[in-house]
Amino acid sequence: MAKISIFLAGLLLLHCCFAMAETEYAKYRDPKQPLNVRIRDLMNRMTLEEKIGQMTQIERANASYDVMNKYFIGSVLSGGGSVPKKQATAEEWINVVNDIQKGALSTRLGIPMIYGIDAVHGHNNVYKATIFPHNIGLGASRDPELVKRIGAATALEVRATGIPYVFAPCVAVCRDPRWGRCYESYSEDPKIVQAMTELIPGLQGDMSPTERKGVPFVAGKKNVAACAKHFVGDGGTTEGINENNTVISRHGLLSLHMPGYYTSIIKGVSTVMVSYSSWNGVKMHANHDLVTGFLKNTLRFRGFVISDWQGIDRITSPPHANYTYSIQAGVSAGIDMVMVPYDYTEFIDGLTSLVKKNIIPMSRIDDAVGRILRVKFIMGLFENPLADQTLVHELGSQEHRDLAREAVRKSLVLLKNGESADKPLLPLPKKTKKILVAGSHANNLGYQCGGWTIEWQGLNGNNLTSGTTILSAITSTVDPQTEVVYMENPDAESVKSENFSYAIVVVGEHPYAETMGDSMNLTIAEPGPSTISNVCGNVKCVVVVISGRPVVIQPYLESIDALVAAWLPGSEGQGVADVLFGDYGFSGKLPRTWFKTVDQLPMNVGDAHYDPLFPFGFGLTTEPNKAT
């Protein structure tokens, strides 16, 4: 009996020694080891359960310490409007992210989770963050260096809340403004979209000359992993219907919709998100030819491919009709991380079963997990998994607001300026007796920010976050002796009787995102048209259009003295006043064709039937006039 006890004790001691050795030194924990050695060492230690956990991304609302620990979850996201609490501070965000991270770190291997968020025009979910112009406005600036600076500022604000990963940039090429995501596209021209991928080195940091091209890269704790989206052709769907079918030849797809991905990969983008849309009837989430064959094998993308929100569910119609098939089709196509915000146990169980039945080979799982771990190692997540509060002061900083104001100035496109070139209305004089400011969008921060601002669909009003409305910007810009009268929707008699020197009318679209923004008529929201009619028929007026795309303007153009496309300028409305009153000149150029009627759509530069109201690239200029 004693001999057996001694033997068992020896075995136990030997086991403890091995366990201690494993605890003391694991190559994957050693940042001095080569990247591939760390990946291989960690993967050799992982069970199937742990690997499938890494491939799973869940919504913040479902993520707890216990869930992370039990299911080995690899990633968590905040969807549009998903916040720890209303008006949460940077510190409160950090605490929530760190609490979730501690759950991931408590697992056997301590693999940190990666937290992602849609920061598509600044850190747009977060209260008091700087809200930059949406991408269509940045496309009008024609300034990639500006976009890079915006990326760097956004990275700092995202890191200020403890988050290391953003679902940006959108490199879609919007070919039809009826698409509800058109404002997320920089231009109808793939060359402009390519140029604006400078957002990626802004977000991720500059690659050194010694870094390998095409390999994911994140410079450090002040940078975030980026995500080029939505692969591929999302901006070319029939009639601009969101998530619909893009009918185009392979040559057309590669020449129009793919260039943004070429440059994104060269610049070291960490991840690529797959589109809900289809190409010639094949759902992108199930397209092995393009996701694995082209993106991974031909372009040699080395980061990980992520699905969109419940993206694999939508492989079937109706969505989630045959989830086992959807898992098989999506993962087999080459999707590495699956965004399953809610039904994560169903996904984990389904994928586990498919692997155990040899329907999905282990090599496909290992490819996915290796890519996910590569990005996590490159980001430094293993060395610095928990966020601290050293960057909280960056959220909504004055420096970033000044940058956003600059971006607004450079994004404005002047479409009309007086009846003739020798009688311009703009720039407006600051010193005059009395001016009228009118329109539904003049005093509405939510409207000027648009969708993807605090809430997924955007908001109405001025109490959503910090910023400057166009009305308050005008009031603070004009001479103190100039009387500013604000009437949201004045009748014609009121305008006639007040003897205004001139009027500024600010109208446009109400906020929207994705499918909610699909529009077959592209009209300015009521009472915008009646405001234009009542004001511009009775006093000299400049109309400022707040919209995510060109809208119907031709019927009102004759009565308008000056017309400005301001797109969705974001939180810094002062940038609009800076240019209207001549402190800076107009310089923006149309990033997309402005149609006469919706019957012409789709219509893009180079088309045989090209007959625009204002052509692609159009934009009048003015000189700064410091004396106004």
Coil vs helix vs strand at 246: strand
Q: Look up residue 246 and give its amino acid.
A: T
Say if CB 311 and CB 344 are below 8 A apart.
no
Whether the CA torsion 438, 443, 449, 453 is positive or negative: it is negative
What span, in angstroms and rounded, lies between the C-alpha atoms of 214 and 493? 63
- By 3-state DSSP, what share of the chain in percent is helix, strand and coil, each rounded to 5? 40, 15, 45
Cis peptide before 230 (omega within 30 of 0): yes
What span, in angstroms and rounded, lies between the C-alpha atoms of 265 and 296? 10
Half-sphere exposure of 474 (CA within 13 A, CB side): 26
| 599 given a catalytic annotation | no
| 308 given a catalytic annotation | yes
Coil vs helix vs strand at 54: helix
Given the residues 184, 308, 313, 455, select the one marked as catalytic: 308
Cα(first)–Cα(last) distance of the chain, in Å?
A: 102
Say if CB 57 and CB 339 are below 8 A apart.
yes
Given the residues 198, 509, 514, 572, select the one marked as catalytic: 514
Q: Helix/strand/coil (H, E, C) string of 468-503?
A: ECHHHHHHHHCCCCCEEEEECCCCHHHHHHCCCCEE
Vertex 151: Cα angle to 378 and 145 (nearest 5): 115
Q: Catalytic amino acids?
A: 308, 514
